[in-house]
Homo-oligomer: A and B are copies of this chain.
Amino acid sequence: MKIAILPGDGIGTEITEQAVKVLKALGETFEMESAPVGGAGYEASGHPLPEATLKLAKEADAILFGAVGDWKYDKLERSLRPEQAILGLRKHLGLFANFRPAILYPELAGASTLKPEVVSGLDILIVRELTGDIYFGQPRGMREAPDGPFKGAREGFDTMRYAEPEIRRIAHVAFQAAQKRGKRLTSVDKANVLETFQFWKEIVTEIHAEYPDVELDHMYVDNAAMQLVRAPKKFDVIVTGNMFGDILSDAAAMLTGSIGMLPSASLDANNKGLYEPSHGSAPDIAGKGIANPLATILSAAMMLRYSLNKEEQANRIEAAVKKVLAQGLRTADIYEQGTTKVGTTEMGDAVVKAL
User: Interface size bucket, A side?
Assistant: 35 or more
The answer to whether A199 and B155 touch across the interface, beta carbons within 8 angstroms, is yes
Chain B residues whose C-beta falls within 8 Å of the C-beta of A115 in the assembled complex: 113-115
Nearest CB of B to A76, in Å: 12
The answer to whether A138 and B145 touch across the interface, beta carbons within 8 angstroms, is no
Question: How does the 8 Å CB contact mask read for A193-211 relative to B, with 1 for contact and 0 for none?
Answer: 1111111100000000000
Among the listed B148, B160, B250, which residue makes an inter-chain contact with A157, where contact means beta carbons less than 8 Å apart?
A: B160
Among the listed B83, B141, B153, which residue makes an inter-chain contact with A195, where contact means beta carbons less than 8 Å apart?
A: B141
A81 CA to B191 CA in the complex, in Å? Answer: 12
Beyond A81-B192, A225-B251, whether A160 also contacts B163 by CB under 8 A is no
Question: How does the 8 Å CB contact mask read for A34-55 relative to B, with 1 for contact and 0 for none?
Answer: 0000000000000000000000
Beyond A157-B160, A160-B157, A160-B160, whether A142 also contacts B195 by CB under 8 A is yes
Most buried by B among A154, A160, A163, A190: A163
A88 CA to B120 CA in the complex, in Å? Answer: 43
- Verify if A61 is at the interface (C-beta below 8 Å from B): no
Most buried by B among A113, A138, A141, A154: A113
The answer to whether B192 and A83 touch across the interface, beta carbons within 8 angstroms, is yes
Interface residues of A in 240-265 (CB under 8 A from B): 243-244, 246-251, 253-255, 257, 259
Among the listed B113, B147, B163, B229, which residue makes an inter-chain contact with A254, where contact means beta carbons less than 8 Å apart?
A: B229
- Verify if A222 is at the interface (C-beta below 8 Å from B): yes
Chain B residues whose C-beta falls within 8 Å of the C-beta of A138 in the assembled complex: 147-148
A294 CA to B145 CA in the complex, in Å? Answer: 42
Contact residues of A with B, CB < 8 Å?
78, 81, 83, 87, 113-115, 118, 134-135, 137-138, 140-142, 145, 147-148, 150, 153-166, 190, 192-200, 221-223, 225-226, 228-231, 243-244, 246-251, 253-255, 257, 259
